[in-house]
Amino acid sequence: MSTIDKAPLRCVLFDLDGTLLDTAPDLGAAVNHVLVSEGFAPLSDDVIRQTTSHGALGLLRAGLGDELLEELGAGRLRAALLDHYAANLCVGTRPYEGMLDLIEWLDERALPWGIVTNKPGFLTEPLLAALPALANCGVTVSADTLPVRKPDPAPMYYACERLGVEAAHCLYVGDHVRDIEAGRNAGMRTAVAGWGYLHDDEDPADWGADLQFDTVQALHHWLRYELS
């Protein structure tokens, strides 16, 4: 972990899939529904978890490869995946272990927190509505909230503006290199969610984050210390 001195922490922002919520069960069910419907083998749980951060096309590509995906119609298959997923958004999806305790602690401290995700709003909003424990989320920035998405810093600045804090006083937590890039581009402190959808070939130590945590509990412990 970096020991670089930073501005006092006044806000925590989270990525959604693979950081705040384990959405892989429902995304995996959606891609496997499409693959099996097309006559192909389903993806394993391990492949799903390592590919979920790459979105619908990334999941389809993992099952079909580039050439076959294009031959069958990437747009058609992506639409079928998203239709199935939208109808089954919160069947197996759950907050990661310890996350609700962390959110409750942030709420008790009245420390603003929010979500900046590359998930489109038509999926993000109903998913969060299905999880009342996250009702105190101060801001949600989806892929289509602004004309640009992460790793562009604009969604990060927008979240800070809505929460009334400066970017330098925020911690952004995410499980993908674009999350760390987005936070760094905005001048935030950044942390890798090591419990998320990391690929075996990735080394988060190369991403340039200030911090890295293997568990939600470790993040919670650090926040308690930082804000004591």
Identified catalytic residue from 17, 22, 26, 175: 17
The whole-angstrom separation of Cα 197 and Cα 175 is 6
> Do residues 114 and 138 make contact, with C-beta atoms less than 8 angstroms apart?
yes
Task: Given the residues 5, 15, 26, 214, select the one marked as catalytic.
Answer: 15
Q: Tell me the residue type at 208.
A: G
CB of 118 closer than 8 Å to CB of 182: no
Q: Kindly list the distances between the CA atom of residue 151 and the CA atoms of 30, 116, 126, 210, in Å, as whole numbers in the listed order.
A: 26, 11, 24, 16
Q: Which of 195, 191, 142 is nearest to 171 (CA)?
A: 191
- Angle at 104 (CA atoms; ends 98, 106), nearest 5 degrees: 105
Q: Known catalytic residue: 15?
A: yes
d(CA 141, CA 124): 9
How far apart CA 222 and CA 226 sit, in angstroms, is: 6
CA 173 to CA 13: how far, in whole Å?
A: 6
According to DSSP, the β-strands at 21-22 and 11-14 are unpaired
Does residue 184 contact residue 201 with C-beta atoms inside 8 Å? no
- Catalytic residue numbers read 15, 17
